Amino acid sequence: MVKPLTFKGDKKVKKRKRTEAAEDEARSKAARTEEEVDNDDSWLSADAVTDIAGPTMFVLPTSPPSALSCDVTGKVFTIAIENIVDGNPSSAEPHDVRQVWVTSKIPGTEHYRFKSHHGKYLSCDKFGIFSATSEAVSPLETFVLTETAEKPGTFQIQTLRDTYLTVKEPSSSKANATPEVRGDATETGLDTTLYIRMQARFKPRNKAAKEEKALQKISRSQLEEAVGRKLEDDEVKRLKKARREGDYHEVLLDMKTKNKHDKYG
């Protein structure tokens, strides 16, 4: 390759560490990473009530572990969990859409509602019988989630009548009989204590980590466009640090003000 002619006294052109193509590739990679986080449908355990939102699976204290489930008729029952490692409830994942409920907090309250795969809400009547046939939310479809003090990482589901979701041994002696889900327990215990599994992308701390990463993902060319001139390496570092620490706009304003002083000074 023929090199351009140079002459004594010519100023050396400072090479950019990253080309525009590299900047574009970095932005593209950052966008792909963020999209992957947004679409992360892996399952993990809720650690606190404030974590719980979006698609969830309630892992019941049965042997073997089973999930709270319902069919399109609104019947509520248990389904043994197939996607589980060594019977560990904290590794469970749904294998059937009937095991998945969409959890959301009722605005203006500390209460929760659970929507089934067919769009109806979980309900518990005064006799402690669960169903999922209602399209609206009344006190029967309203629940309180509490953390189990004696066993961190597990929860209790409480009705507004101060009774708890519980599981009982099958009333039938048939080989295929499954545990019965009830909502009439008056005290908490092993049979009311359950794990809640949820999709990673809905967990608040995961969202916060994603937002923190997003703040760091800005290219040199984007910063230079914001300031209105070419930047030195130390200025780029200063702006990126400011984005992480929350004073980006103040630092950006300082640099823009410096531009005006340099222009008219």
pLDDT in tens, the chain (265 residues): 555 555 555 555 555 555 555 555 655 555 555 555 556 789 999 999 999 999 999 999 999 999 999 999 999 999 999 999 999 999 999 999 999 999 999 999 999 999 999 999 999 999 999 999 999 999 999 999 999 999 999 999 999 999 999 999 887 777 778 899 999 999 999 999 999 999 999 987 655 555 555 555 678 888 888 888 888 899 888 888 888 777 888 888 888 877 665 554 5
Q: Report if pTM > 0.85.
A: no
3 state DSSP class of 130:
strand
Contact partners, residue 265, CB within 8 Å, separation at least 6? none
For the chain, what is the total number of helices (H) and then of strands (E)?
Answer: 5, 13
The b/e string for 203-223 (b: 16+ C-beta within 10 A; e otherwise) is beebeeebeeeeeebbbbbeb
What CATH number is given for 43-202 in this structure? 2.80.10.50
- Cβ(143)–Cβ(130) below 8 Å: no
Long-range contacts of 88-94 (CB under 8 A, 24+ apart): 89/59, 89/65, 89/195, 90/45, 90/153, 90/195, 90/197, 92/43, 92/57, 92/59, 92/65, 92/67, 92/195, 92/197, 93/43, 93/57, 93/197, 94/43, 94/57, 94/67, 94/197
- Going from N- to C-terminal start, the domains of the chain cover 43-202, 218-264
CA distance 244 to 227: 18
Provide the pLDDT for residue 253. Answer: 87
- Number of C-beta neighbours around residue 155 at 10 A: 22
CA distance 259 to 249: 15
Provide the pLDDT for residue 170. Answer: 82
- φ, ψ of residue 26 in degrees (nearest 5): -65, -45
